[in-house]
Structure 1
Amino acid sequence: MRVLLVEDDLDMAESLKASLAADSHEVDHAGDGELGESMALNGAYDVIVLDRMLPKKQGVSIVRDLRGKGVSTPVLILSALHDEDHRIEGLNAGANDYLGKPFSTRELLARVRSLWHGRDLGPATRLQVGDLEMDLLARTVKRDGKKLDLQPREFRLLEYLMRHAGQTVTRKMLLENVWDYHFDPQTNVIDVHISRLRSKIDRDFAQTLLHTVRGSGYRLEG
Protein backbone atom coordinates (compact mmCIF):
# COMPACT_ATOMS: atom_id res chain seq x y z
CA MET A 1 0.00 0.00 0.00
CA ARG A 2 1.23 3.50 -0.83
CA VAL A 3 0.71 6.03 1.96
CA LEU A 4 1.11 9.81 1.90
CA LEU A 5 2.08 11.15 5.33
CA VAL A 6 1.61 14.90 5.83
CA GLU A 7 3.19 15.85 9.17
CA ASP A 8 5.32 18.86 10.11
CA ASP A 9 6.78 17.39 13.33
CA LEU A 10 9.89 15.74 11.90
CA ASP A 11 10.47 13.43 14.87
CA MET A 12 6.91 12.15 14.68
CA ALA A 13 7.10 11.90 10.90
CA GLU A 14 10.25 9.76 11.06
CA SER A 15 8.68 7.52 13.70
CA LEU A 16 5.47 7.07 11.71
CA LYS A 17 7.37 6.46 8.47
CA ALA A 18 9.37 3.71 10.14
CA SER A 19 6.25 2.10 11.62
CA LEU A 20 4.34 2.24 8.34
CA ALA A 21 7.32 0.85 6.42
CA ALA A 22 7.64 -1.99 8.94
CA ASP A 23 3.97 -2.74 8.24
CA SER A 24 4.87 -3.18 4.54
CA HIS A 25 3.69 0.23 3.34
CA GLU A 26 5.50 2.53 0.93
CA VAL A 27 5.54 6.02 2.46
CA ASP A 28 5.99 9.50 0.96
CA HIS A 29 6.28 12.43 3.35
CA ALA A 30 5.32 16.11 3.10
CA GLY A 31 6.23 18.57 5.83
CA ASP A 32 3.66 21.29 5.13
CA GLY A 33 0.08 21.59 3.93
CA GLU A 34 0.70 23.08 0.51
CA LEU A 35 3.21 20.40 -0.46
CA GLY A 36 0.97 17.70 0.98
CA GLU A 37 -2.01 18.82 -1.08
CA SER A 38 0.09 19.03 -4.24
CA MET A 39 1.40 15.49 -3.69
CA ALA A 40 -2.12 14.20 -2.97
CA LEU A 41 -3.38 15.73 -6.21
CA ASN A 42 -0.54 14.42 -8.34
CA GLY A 43 0.28 11.05 -6.76
CA ALA A 44 -1.55 7.72 -6.75
CA TYR A 45 -1.92 7.05 -3.02
CA ASP A 46 -4.01 4.40 -1.30
CA VAL A 47 -4.34 6.25 2.03
CA ILE A 48 -3.45 9.76 3.24
CA VAL A 49 -2.42 10.29 6.88
CA LEU A 50 -2.82 14.00 7.51
CA ASP A 51 -1.95 16.14 10.51
CA ARG A 52 -4.59 18.78 11.22
CA MET A 53 -2.32 21.62 12.35
CA LEU A 54 0.14 22.28 9.53
CA PRO A 55 2.18 25.23 8.25
CA LYS A 56 1.01 26.92 5.03
CA LYS A 57 -2.35 25.11 4.91
CA GLN A 58 -4.46 23.39 7.56
CA GLY A 59 -5.45 19.74 7.29
CA VAL A 60 -9.22 20.27 7.26
CA SER A 61 -8.91 22.76 4.41
CA ILE A 62 -6.76 20.30 2.49
CA VAL A 63 -9.37 17.53 2.83
CA ARG A 64 -12.19 19.85 1.81
CA ASP A 65 -10.28 21.01 -1.28
CA LEU A 66 -9.24 17.48 -2.26
CA ARG A 67 -12.84 16.30 -2.12
CA GLY A 68 -13.94 19.32 -4.11
CA LYS A 69 -11.43 18.35 -6.80
CA GLY A 70 -12.69 14.78 -6.96
CA VAL A 71 -9.90 13.08 -4.97
CA SER A 72 -11.55 10.20 -3.09
CA THR A 73 -8.41 8.72 -1.47
CA PRO A 74 -9.23 7.72 2.14
CA VAL A 75 -7.92 10.29 4.64
CA LEU A 76 -7.06 9.78 8.31
CA ILE A 77 -6.69 13.07 10.20
CA LEU A 78 -4.34 13.19 13.21
CA SER A 79 -4.84 15.96 15.74
CA ALA A 80 -4.46 17.03 19.34
CA LEU A 81 -7.81 18.78 18.75
CA HIS A 82 -10.14 15.83 19.12
CA ASP A 83 -13.20 16.98 21.02
CA GLU A 84 -16.61 16.32 19.46
CA ASP A 85 -16.83 19.57 17.47
CA HIS A 86 -13.37 19.18 15.97
CA ARG A 87 -13.99 15.54 15.02
CA ILE A 88 -17.29 16.41 13.36
CA GLU A 89 -15.68 19.30 11.47
CA GLY A 90 -13.00 16.99 10.11
CA LEU A 91 -15.47 14.27 9.13
CA ASN A 92 -17.86 16.74 7.53
CA ALA A 93 -14.96 18.13 5.49
CA GLY A 94 -14.58 14.68 3.94
CA ALA A 95 -12.11 12.83 6.16
CA ASN A 96 -12.79 9.11 6.52
CA ASP A 97 -11.40 8.82 10.03
CA TYR A 98 -10.08 11.02 12.84
CA LEU A 99 -7.50 9.97 15.44
CA GLY A 100 -6.67 12.07 18.48
CA LYS A 101 -3.14 12.65 19.71
CA PRO A 102 -1.54 11.01 21.59
CA PHE A 103 -2.29 7.65 19.99
CA SER A 104 -0.72 4.23 19.90
CA THR A 105 1.17 3.19 16.79
CA ARG A 106 -0.74 -0.09 16.74
CA GLU A 107 -4.05 1.77 16.57
CA LEU A 108 -2.85 4.04 13.79
CA LEU A 109 -1.67 1.06 11.73
CA ALA A 110 -4.97 -0.74 12.32
CA ARG A 111 -6.93 2.31 11.16
CA VAL A 112 -4.77 2.72 8.04
CA ARG A 113 -5.31 -0.94 7.16
CA SER A 114 -9.04 -0.58 7.81
CA LEU A 115 -9.30 2.40 5.47
CA TRP A 116 -7.60 0.44 2.70
CA HIS A 117 -9.62 -2.74 3.24
CA GLY A 118 -12.78 -0.64 3.18
CA ARG A 119 -11.98 0.11 -0.47
CA ASP A 120 -11.74 -3.60 -1.35
CA LEU A 121 -14.72 -3.94 -3.65
CA GLY A 122 -14.53 -7.69 -4.12
CA PRO A 123 -15.82 -9.24 -7.34
CA ALA A 124 -18.90 -7.01 -7.68
CA THR A 125 -18.37 -3.65 -9.37
CA ARG A 126 -22.03 -2.56 -9.55
CA LEU A 127 -24.77 -2.52 -6.94
CA GLN A 128 -28.48 -2.00 -7.59
CA VAL A 129 -31.54 -1.53 -5.38
CA GLY A 130 -34.70 -0.79 -7.35
CA ASP A 131 -33.85 1.96 -9.80
CA LEU A 132 -30.84 3.07 -7.71
CA GLU A 133 -27.52 2.05 -9.27
CA MET A 134 -23.96 2.37 -7.93
CA ASP A 135 -20.85 1.90 -10.06
CA LEU A 136 -18.03 1.09 -7.65
CA LEU A 137 -15.26 1.55 -10.19
CA ALA A 138 -16.44 4.86 -11.63
CA ARG A 139 -17.62 5.96 -8.15
CA THR A 140 -20.94 7.15 -9.55
CA VAL A 141 -24.55 6.79 -8.38
CA LYS A 142 -27.66 7.10 -10.51
CA ARG A 143 -31.36 6.83 -9.79
CA ASP A 144 -33.73 6.31 -12.69
CA GLY A 145 -30.84 7.30 -14.96
CA LYS A 146 -30.24 10.62 -13.13
CA LYS A 147 -26.72 11.08 -11.75
CA LEU A 148 -26.58 11.92 -8.04
CA ASP A 149 -23.76 13.99 -6.55
CA LEU A 150 -22.58 12.32 -3.32
CA GLN A 151 -19.77 13.31 -1.00
CA PRO A 152 -17.22 10.55 -0.22
CA ARG A 153 -18.73 9.71 3.19
CA GLU A 154 -22.24 9.65 1.70
CA PHE A 155 -21.01 7.30 -1.01
CA ARG A 156 -19.46 4.96 1.57
CA LEU A 157 -22.64 5.06 3.67
CA LEU A 158 -24.84 4.30 0.68
CA GLU A 159 -22.54 1.49 -0.44
CA TYR A 160 -22.87 -0.17 2.95
CA LEU A 161 -26.66 0.20 2.91
CA MET A 162 -26.85 -1.20 -0.63
CA ARG A 163 -24.70 -4.17 0.29
CA HIS A 164 -27.21 -4.86 3.08
CA ALA A 165 -30.35 -4.02 1.10
CA GLY A 166 -33.55 -5.31 2.71
CA GLN A 167 -31.84 -5.67 6.09
CA THR A 168 -32.15 -3.40 9.12
CA VAL A 169 -28.77 -1.76 9.59
CA THR A 170 -28.16 -0.58 13.16
CA ARG A 171 -26.33 2.56 14.24
CA LYS A 172 -23.64 0.31 15.76
CA MET A 173 -23.11 -1.38 12.39
CA LEU A 174 -22.76 2.01 10.68
CA LEU A 175 -20.38 3.38 13.31
CA GLU A 176 -18.12 0.34 13.05
CA ASN A 177 -18.21 -0.20 9.30
CA VAL A 178 -18.59 3.29 7.82
CA TRP A 179 -16.85 5.43 10.46
CA ASP A 180 -14.61 2.72 12.02
CA TYR A 181 -15.75 3.74 15.51
CA HIS A 182 -15.90 0.85 17.95
CA PHE A 183 -17.67 3.01 20.50
CA ASP A 184 -20.58 5.44 20.38
CA PRO A 185 -19.15 8.98 20.17
CA GLN A 186 -22.55 10.32 21.28
CA THR A 187 -22.87 12.63 18.29
CA ASN A 188 -25.51 13.08 15.61
CA VAL A 189 -23.04 12.36 12.81
CA ILE A 190 -25.10 9.40 11.54
CA ASP A 191 -28.37 11.37 11.59
CA VAL A 192 -26.75 14.23 9.67
CA HIS A 193 -25.36 11.96 6.95
CA ILE A 194 -28.56 9.89 6.69
CA SER A 195 -30.57 13.09 6.28
CA ARG A 196 -28.25 14.37 3.54
CA LEU A 197 -28.25 11.01 1.78
CA ARG A 198 -32.04 10.71 1.94
CA SER A 199 -32.47 14.16 0.43
CA LYS A 200 -30.32 13.12 -2.53
CA ILE A 201 -31.64 9.64 -3.28
CA ASP A 202 -35.34 10.09 -2.36
CA ARG A 203 -36.39 13.75 -2.46
CA ASP A 204 -37.13 14.02 -6.19
CA PHE A 205 -38.58 10.54 -6.64
CA ALA A 206 -42.03 9.07 -5.99
CA GLN A 207 -40.84 5.92 -4.22
CA THR A 208 -38.93 6.12 -0.93
CA LEU A 209 -35.96 3.77 -0.72
CA LEU A 210 -34.30 4.73 2.57
CA HIS A 211 -36.45 3.98 5.61
CA THR A 212 -35.96 4.63 9.31
CA VAL A 213 -36.73 1.60 11.48
CA ARG A 214 -37.75 3.26 14.71
CA GLY A 215 -35.60 2.19 17.64
CA SER A 216 -33.46 -0.08 15.45
CA GLY A 217 -31.73 1.71 12.59
CA TYR A 218 -32.24 2.06 8.84
CA ARG A 219 -33.24 -0.11 5.89
CA LEU A 220 -32.71 0.44 2.16
CA GLU A 221 -35.13 -1.41 -0.07
CA GLY A 222 -36.72 -0.91 -3.47
Structure 2
Amino acid sequence: MNILLVEDEVKLAAFVQKGLQEAGYNVKLESSGSAALETAAADHFDLILLDIMLPGQNGFEVLKNLRKFSIDTPIIFMSALSESDHVIEGLDLGAVDYIKKPFDFEELKARVRNVQRKFGSKRASILKIKDLEIDLIKREVKRADQLIELSKREFSILELLLRNANRVLSKAEITEKIWNFNFDMGSNVIEVHMHQLRKKIDHDFEPKLIETQVGYGYKIVGELTKR
Protein backbone atom coordinates (compact mmCIF):
# COMPACT_ATOMS: atom_id res chain seq x y z
CA MET A 1 0.00 0.00 0.00
CA ASN A 2 1.42 3.37 -1.04
CA ILE A 3 0.72 6.20 1.39
CA LEU A 4 1.33 9.93 1.00
CA LEU A 5 1.93 11.49 4.42
CA VAL A 6 1.51 15.28 4.52
CA GLU A 7 2.73 16.68 7.81
CA ASP A 8 4.86 19.73 8.62
CA GLU A 9 5.70 18.84 12.24
CA VAL A 10 9.12 17.30 11.65
CA LYS A 11 9.27 14.96 14.66
CA LEU A 12 5.70 13.71 14.23
CA ALA A 13 6.20 13.21 10.50
CA ALA A 14 9.37 11.16 11.07
CA PHE A 15 7.68 9.08 13.78
CA VAL A 16 4.59 8.29 11.67
CA GLN A 17 6.62 7.58 8.52
CA LYS A 18 8.98 5.22 10.38
CA GLY A 19 6.12 3.42 12.12
CA LEU A 20 4.12 2.89 8.94
CA GLN A 21 7.18 1.72 7.04
CA GLU A 22 7.91 -0.81 9.79
CA ALA A 23 4.30 -1.98 9.40
CA GLY A 24 5.01 -2.75 5.74
CA TYR A 25 3.67 0.36 3.99
CA ASN A 26 5.47 2.49 1.39
CA VAL A 27 5.38 6.07 2.68
CA LYS A 28 6.21 9.27 0.81
CA LEU A 29 6.49 12.40 2.98
CA GLU A 30 5.63 15.98 2.04
CA SER A 31 5.55 18.97 4.39
CA SER A 32 3.45 21.54 2.50
CA GLY A 33 0.07 21.59 0.83
CA SER A 34 1.36 22.70 -2.55
CA ALA A 35 4.04 19.98 -2.63
CA ALA A 36 1.45 17.38 -1.58
CA LEU A 37 -0.86 18.37 -4.41
CA GLU A 38 1.94 18.11 -6.97
CA THR A 39 3.09 14.73 -5.67
CA ALA A 40 -0.43 13.30 -5.49
CA ALA A 41 -1.05 14.38 -9.09
CA ALA A 42 2.17 12.81 -10.37
CA ASP A 43 2.28 9.53 -8.45
CA HIS A 44 -0.11 6.76 -7.43
CA PHE A 45 -1.19 6.52 -3.81
CA ASP A 46 -3.73 4.29 -2.09
CA LEU A 47 -4.18 6.68 0.83
CA ILE A 48 -3.28 10.23 1.83
CA LEU A 49 -2.76 11.11 5.49
CA LEU A 50 -3.31 14.86 5.46
CA ASP A 51 -2.68 17.47 8.14
CA ILE A 52 -4.93 20.55 7.98
CA MET A 53 -2.67 23.34 9.22
CA LEU A 54 -0.05 23.33 6.47
CA PRO A 55 2.12 25.98 4.77
CA GLY A 56 1.07 26.89 1.24
CA GLN A 57 -2.37 25.35 0.92
CA ASN A 58 -4.14 24.02 3.99
CA GLY A 59 -5.48 20.49 4.07
CA PHE A 60 -9.02 21.48 3.15
CA GLU A 61 -7.75 23.36 0.09
CA VAL A 62 -5.57 20.40 -0.92
CA LEU A 63 -8.56 18.05 -0.79
CA LYS A 64 -10.71 20.43 -2.83
CA ASN A 65 -8.00 20.73 -5.50
CA LEU A 66 -7.41 16.99 -5.63
CA ARG A 67 -11.06 16.37 -6.33
CA LYS A 68 -11.07 19.20 -8.88
CA PHE A 69 -8.29 17.32 -10.73
CA SER A 70 -10.33 14.07 -10.49
CA ILE A 71 -7.87 12.48 -8.05
CA ASP A 72 -10.05 10.27 -5.85
CA THR A 73 -7.42 8.90 -3.46
CA PRO A 74 -8.97 8.22 -0.02
CA ILE A 75 -7.95 10.82 2.57
CA ILE A 76 -7.68 10.68 6.35
CA PHE A 77 -7.30 14.05 8.02
CA MET A 78 -4.89 14.23 10.98
CA SER A 79 -5.30 17.45 12.91
CA ALA A 80 -5.13 19.22 16.25
CA LEU A 81 -8.25 21.07 15.12
CA SER A 82 -10.62 18.84 17.05
CA GLU A 83 -13.76 20.96 17.23
CA SER A 84 -16.83 19.31 15.72
CA ASP A 85 -17.18 21.92 12.96
CA HIS A 86 -13.67 21.11 11.67
CA VAL A 87 -14.39 17.38 11.72
CA ILE A 88 -17.69 17.91 9.93
CA GLU A 89 -16.10 20.16 7.30
CA GLY A 90 -13.38 17.61 6.62
CA LEU A 91 -15.83 14.75 6.22
CA ASP A 92 -18.24 16.84 4.15
CA LEU A 93 -15.42 17.70 1.76
CA GLY A 94 -14.96 13.98 1.10
CA ALA A 95 -12.40 12.69 3.58
CA VAL A 96 -13.04 9.09 4.62
CA ASP A 97 -11.89 9.63 8.22
CA TYR A 98 -10.62 12.23 10.68
CA ILE A 99 -8.20 11.48 13.52
CA LYS A 100 -7.51 14.05 16.22
CA LYS A 101 -4.02 14.89 17.45
CA PRO A 102 -2.49 13.68 19.65
CA PHE A 103 -3.47 10.17 18.60
CA ASP A 104 -2.49 6.65 19.54
CA PHE A 105 -0.35 5.19 16.77
CA GLU A 106 -2.10 1.81 16.96
CA GLU A 107 -5.40 3.62 16.36
CA LEU A 108 -3.91 5.29 13.30
CA LYS A 109 -2.78 1.92 11.93
CA ALA A 110 -6.26 0.51 12.54
CA ARG A 111 -7.80 3.37 10.56
CA VAL A 112 -5.30 2.78 7.74
CA ARG A 113 -6.22 -0.91 7.68
CA ASN A 114 -9.88 0.04 7.54
CA VAL A 115 -9.28 2.17 4.45
CA GLN A 116 -7.30 -0.68 2.93
CA ARG A 117 -10.23 -3.06 3.44
CA LYS A 118 -12.79 -0.62 2.09
CA PHE A 119 -10.98 0.76 -0.92
CA GLY A 120 -8.13 -1.61 -1.75
CA SER A 121 -10.16 -3.81 -4.10
CA LYS A 122 -11.93 -0.88 -5.77
CA ARG A 123 -8.90 0.94 -7.13
CA ALA A 124 -7.54 0.33 -10.61
CA SER A 125 -4.80 -2.30 -10.63
CA ILE A 126 -4.25 -2.54 -14.40
CA LEU A 127 -2.87 0.28 -16.56
CA LYS A 128 -2.90 -0.16 -20.33
CA ILE A 129 -1.80 1.80 -23.41
CA LYS A 130 -2.35 0.08 -26.75
CA ASP A 131 -0.92 -3.44 -26.33
CA LEU A 132 1.21 -2.56 -23.29
CA GLU A 133 -0.27 -3.57 -19.95
CA ILE A 134 1.06 -3.42 -16.40
CA ASP A 135 -0.46 -5.13 -13.37
CA LEU A 136 0.25 -3.04 -10.27
CA ILE A 137 -0.62 -5.83 -7.86
CA LYS A 138 1.24 -8.71 -9.52
CA ARG A 139 3.98 -6.29 -10.67
CA GLU A 140 3.82 -7.80 -14.14
CA VAL A 141 4.31 -6.18 -17.55
CA LYS A 142 3.03 -7.52 -20.84
CA ARG A 143 3.25 -6.28 -24.39
CA ALA A 144 1.28 -8.05 -27.12
CA ASP A 145 0.52 -10.68 -24.45
CA GLN A 146 4.24 -11.38 -23.97
CA LEU A 147 5.48 -11.26 -20.38
CA ILE A 148 8.37 -8.81 -19.97
CA GLU A 149 10.78 -8.90 -17.05
CA LEU A 150 11.63 -5.47 -15.64
CA SER A 151 13.81 -4.46 -12.72
CA LYS A 152 12.14 -2.69 -9.79
CA ARG A 153 13.38 0.70 -11.01
CA GLU A 154 12.35 0.03 -14.63
CA PHE A 155 8.87 -0.93 -13.45
CA SER A 156 8.62 2.26 -11.36
CA ILE A 157 9.71 4.44 -14.29
CA LEU A 158 7.23 2.74 -16.63
CA GLU A 159 4.41 3.18 -14.10
CA LEU A 160 5.31 6.87 -13.72
CA LEU A 161 5.29 7.37 -17.50
CA LEU A 162 1.93 5.62 -17.84
CA ARG A 163 0.31 7.64 -15.08
CA ASN A 164 1.48 10.78 -16.89
CA ALA A 165 0.69 9.53 -20.40
CA ASN A 166 1.28 12.08 -23.19
CA ARG A 167 3.05 14.49 -20.80
CA VAL A 168 6.80 14.97 -21.05
CA LEU A 169 8.51 14.19 -17.75
CA SER A 170 11.86 15.90 -17.24
CA LYS A 171 14.91 13.91 -16.23
CA ALA A 172 14.96 15.87 -12.97
CA GLU A 173 11.33 14.95 -12.23
CA ILE A 174 11.90 11.27 -12.96
CA THR A 175 14.99 11.22 -10.76
CA GLU A 176 13.19 12.91 -7.88
CA LYS A 177 10.15 10.61 -8.06
CA ILE A 178 12.04 7.34 -8.51
CA TRP A 179 15.30 7.91 -6.61
CA ASN A 180 14.21 10.68 -4.22
CA PHE A 181 17.32 12.81 -4.70
CA ASN A 182 18.14 15.98 -6.63
CA PHE A 183 19.08 15.60 -10.27
CA ASP A 184 22.80 15.58 -11.05
CA MET A 185 23.36 17.20 -14.44
CA GLY A 186 26.46 15.06 -14.92
CA SER A 187 24.73 11.75 -14.27
CA ASN A 188 23.49 9.44 -17.03
CA VAL A 189 21.43 7.22 -14.71
CA ILE A 190 18.18 8.15 -16.47
CA GLU A 191 19.58 7.48 -19.94
CA VAL A 192 20.84 4.04 -18.85
CA HIS A 193 17.50 3.00 -17.39
CA MET A 194 15.50 4.42 -20.30
CA HIS A 195 17.73 2.58 -22.77
CA GLN A 196 17.05 -0.70 -20.99
CA LEU A 197 13.34 0.02 -20.69
CA ARG A 198 13.05 0.85 -24.38
CA LYS A 199 14.99 -2.27 -25.30
CA LYS A 200 12.50 -4.40 -23.41
CA ILE A 201 9.13 -2.82 -24.26
CA ASP A 202 9.71 -1.02 -27.59
CA HIS A 203 12.58 -2.65 -29.50
CA ASP A 204 10.71 -5.68 -30.83
CA PHE A 205 7.26 -4.07 -31.01
CA GLU A 206 5.26 -1.59 -33.05
CA PRO A 207 4.27 1.12 -32.61
CA LYS A 208 7.04 2.63 -30.49
CA LEU A 209 5.50 4.06 -27.32
CA ILE A 210 8.30 5.97 -25.57
CA GLU A 211 9.33 9.30 -27.07
CA THR A 212 12.31 11.49 -26.18
CA GLN A 213 12.26 15.26 -26.00
CA VAL A 214 15.94 15.92 -26.64
CA GLY A 215 17.68 17.66 -23.78
CA TYR A 216 14.64 17.52 -21.52
CA GLY A 217 12.93 14.21 -20.86
CA TYR A 218 10.56 11.44 -21.95
CA LYS A 219 6.90 10.62 -22.42
CA ILE A 220 4.79 7.60 -23.31
CA VAL A 221 2.20 8.13 -26.01
CA GLY A 222 -1.29 6.70 -26.23
CA GLU A 223 -4.71 6.59 -24.58
CA LEU A 224 -4.44 5.28 -21.03
CA THR A 225 -7.12 2.91 -19.76
CA LYS A 226 -7.49 1.65 -16.19
CA ARG A 227 -9.35 -1.25 -14.67
Q: CA deviation at 1:112?
A: 1.0
1:11 aligns with 2:11: yes
Q: Which residue number in structure 2 is paired with residue 53 of structure 1?
A: 53
- Amino acid paired to 2:95: A
- The gaps in structure 1 that reach 5 residues or longer are 123-222
> For residue 105 of structure 1, what is the aligned residue in structure 2?
105
- Give 2:65's aligned amino acid: D
Q: Does residue 115 of the first structure (1) align with residue 140 of the second (2)?
A: no
SS of equivalent residue, structure 1 residue 28 = strand
Give the conservation status (yes or no) of the 8 Å contact 2:46–2:120: no
Q: Deviations over 1:137-166 (max 9, x none)?
A: xxxxxxxxxxxxxxxxxxxxxxxxxxxxxx
Structure 1 or 2, whichever has the larger Rg, is 2
- Secondary structure of the 1:118 match is helix
* CA–CA distance in structure 2, aligned partners of residues 121 and 30 of structure 1: 26
**Is the partner of 2:119 in helix, strand or coil?**
coil
The residue type paired with residue 100 of structure 1 is: K
Task: Indicate conservation of the 8 Å contact 1:74/1:116, yes or no.
Answer: no
Task: Give the match for residue 76 of structure 1.
Answer: 76
Gaps of 5+ in 2: 123-227
Tell me how far apart the structure 2 counterparts of residues 58 and 80 of structure 1 sit (CA, whole Å). 13
Aligned to 2:96: 96
C-alpha contact 2:32 2:56 (8 A) present in aligned 1: yes
What's the offset of the Cα at 1:94? Answer: 1.5
In the TM superposition, residue 101 of structure 1 has moved relative to its aligned partner by 0.5
Q: Aligned partners of 2:118, 2:69: CA distance in 1, in Å? A: 22
> Do the aligned partners of 1:4 and 1:40 also contact (CA within 8 Å) in 2?
yes
Q: TM-score, normalised by structure 1?
A: 0.53
**CA apart distance, 1:41:** 1.1
